[in-house]
Amino acid sequence: MIRDIGVIFRREMGAYFNSPIAYIFIIVFLVLTSGFYVNGFFLAGTADMRDFFDSLPLFLIFFIPALTMRLWAEEQRMGTFELLMTLPMRPLAIVLGKYLASLAFFGIALASTLTIPLTLAWIGDPDLGAILCGYIGAFLLGGLYLAIGICVSGFFRDQIAAFILTLLACFFFFLAGTQFVAALLDGWVPGFGTFLQEGFGLTAHFEGIQRGVLGLNNIIFFVLFSAVFITLNTLSLEGRKY
Amino acid sequence: MIEVRGVTKSYGTTVALKDVTFSVQRNEILGFLGPNGAGKSTAMKIITTYLAPDSGTVTVDGIDVTKDPLAVRTRIGYLPEIAPLYADMRVLDYLEFVAKARGLIGVKLHERLEWVYDATSVRDVLYKDVSELSKGYRQRVGLAQALVHDPDVLILDEPTSGLDPRQIIGIRNLIRSLSKTKTIIFSSHILAEISAVTDRIAIIHEGRIVADGLAHELREGARKVNRTIVELARADGDAGPALRAIPGVSAVDRMNHGTGAYLVSSPLERDVRPEINDLARSRGWVLLELHTETPTLEEAFIELTGKEASA
């Protein structure tokens, strides 16, 4: 099982870096996130990364679907889906191999923004603990979006459809967690907005981690929902035969 | 060994396979013949565990494909209709990926890769990107991935499509040599392709197996009447009525108008050649040609698939 995951993982990592996707993605991600951050940084004049992490949940809603939309659609298009499904591997191993590769790739993109805290440490005295927590939160957040993306991609042969639906699904998790939407829904159906916010909203959990509260419940939220979508993807692969 | 028993498979409301039963022994090649869309690929996808049958059972070396698909997959090498290649990889990396995914490691991995480069003649393109390959090379790399782990069972869906005649002969020879130790099913919609490789043919049409047997049996089975070809010279005018008058002759058709050739039909068990010879002598005609036509596999194929279509 571990060996199978490794074989798929290496092939997927190769796919990212053998094509221009990886380089374009990292450059655009870096330019946009740092650009927006630096803009506010000079206005506020404080050595923290608050604004950077605050904007991530929204930024990633657009970036992650672009990364995941091809994960299964491309296999279908090239005919390699049939090869994967007839390899002596459990579907879970294949899904995990693909997922972990996308997570590793996202990790690399995220790590490329480490120039920001390095600059901060050089010119000021930032709270490095808070920044580390922010990065852990961002990694978990990306992990959840990627799991949603790989799952949605499994249902669609068309990349554009996979992109849009992943975007909407991620947006749901984002919106459900905002105070504004929760209050609005509560106004229509009392308790419903709060229920969505507590059950599905990622904002509170992400902000919690970012503030330095690594709390188990916050981590479990991201890991659990990621696991749910990975399982769904695996089940859809097994059910496809019938 | 592959055993398919009473397999039915539908896609939505379209029935792709209806109660299909056949088996292939070890050291045997089964040529799977049928028009496009007849169900060949569906049957192969079920054997390779890519799809599950709606009903019926399929076993590979005694293992049920729905109960232990992983064990079946380790035994099978599969070339789908479209060679499953990653366009972004080099041929070398691609084959190594498949070999590792198939569980090969160390010396064995290296040995099998070396073997397969030569067996499928892909050595010249090892360092090329898959996306740069011609159709013929794509097909051969596809075949290489199916062979790399030395499987006991080979399922090849149209393995020779897109190859030039020289390459086709190479692949045919390879398949024949592999059959000494393996169970092989290969499909084609071209009869000549199948009869060049194997004698055992199953014809599939509209989801049913309409014939399963050796080539000569199928030929004989298709023959409904005896057809004798006669070519005469110096026959004054039309020899037709005289031929028609021979007892047992059911029809006489003039072939290639203008020449003295006729097609004489008679019941299967009735050979009218001696009478035709006698007739020609008595009338002073010269017999240029006299032979009973051997039915072709093509006729058998059209007979079988045509009959089913109208039924």
Q: What is the pLDDT of residues A26-67, one digit of tens each?
A: 898 888 888 888 777 777 777 778 788 888 888 899 899 988
Write out pLDDT tens, residues A158-194. 889 999 999 999 988 888 777 777 777 777 877 777 7
- Kindly report, residue by residue over A103-145, the tens digit of the pLDDT: 999 999 999 888 888 888 888 888 888 888 889 999 999 999 9
Domain match, B175 and B146 both: yes
Instruction: Report the number of distinct structural domains present in chain B.
Output: 2
Provide Rg for chain B, Cα atoms.
25
| B69 and B158 fall within a common domain | yes
Tell which wins on pLDDT, B224 or A94. Answer: A94
Contact B103 A79 (CB under 8 A): no
Confidence class for position B149, pLDDT limits 50, 70, 90: very high
Could you tell me if B136 and B270 lie in one domain?
Answer: no
Q: What pLDDT does residue B311 have?
A: 38
User: In the predicted model, what is the mean pLDDT of chain A?
Assistant: 87
Q: What's the pLDDT score for residue A197?
A: 76
* pLDDT at residue B310 tops 50: no
Q: Give the CATH number of the domain where residue B112 resides.
A: 3.40.50.300
Residues B69, B137 within the same domain: yes
Has residue B236 got a pLDDT over 70? no
Judgement on whether residues B232 and B189 belong to the same structural domain of the protein: no
- pTM for this entry: 0.84
What pLDDT was estimated at residue B112? 95
Taking CA atoms, A39 is separated from A31, A44, A52, A210, B150, in Å, by: 12, 9, 10, 21, 60
CATH code for the domain in which residue B269 is found = 3.30.70.100
- At residue B65 the predicted structure's pLDDT band, cuts being 50, 70 and 90, is very high
Judgement on whether residues B32 and B93 belong to the same structural domain of the protein: yes
The domain in which residue B46 lies consists of 2-220
Q: Residues in chain B whose beta carbon is closer than 8 A to a beta carbon of chain A?
A: 45, 48-52, 54, 70-71, 73-74, 76, 78, 80, 82-89, 93, 97-98, 100-103, 145
Q: Which two tokens stand for residue B174?
A: 């390879």
Is the same domain home to B114 and B177?
yes
Residue percentage of chain A with pLDDT more than 90:
36
Same domain, B189 and B78: yes
**B287 in the same domain as B165:** no
Task: Give the pLDDT confidence score for residue B30 in this predicted structure.
Answer: 93
Query: What residues in B contact A86, CB-CB < 8 Å?
Result: 48-50, 73, 76, 78
**B146's tokens:** 């199916």
Task: Domain ranges for chain A, please list them.
Answer: 2-239
**Residue B84 and residue A19: Cβ atoms within 8 Å?**
no
Residue B237: predicted pLDDT: 67
Q: Are residues B134 and B233 in the same domain?
A: no
Tell me: the pLDDT tens digits for A62-91?
899 988 998 998 898 889 999 999 999 999
Residue B145: list chain A partners with CB under 8 A. Answer: 83
CB contact under 8 A, B87 and A79: no
The residue in chain A having the minimum alpha-carbon distance to the alpha carbon of residue B41 is A82
Mean pLDDT, rounded, for B266-272: 83
For the segment B207-219, what is each residue's pLDDT rounded down to a tens digit? 888 888 887 777 7
Residue B75 belongs to a domain = yes
ipTM for this model: 0.87
Contacting residues of B for A241, CB less than 8 Å apart: 49-52
Of B220, B243, B259, the one marking the end of a domain is B220
Query: Is residue B29 within 8 Å of B200, Cβ to Cβ?
Result: yes
Question: Is-contact B31 B215, C-beta < 8 A?
Answer: no
What per-residue confidence (pLDDT) applies to B307?
Answer: 54
| CB contact (8 A) between residue B73 and residue A241 | no
> Residues B244, B252: contact at Cβ < 8 Å?
yes
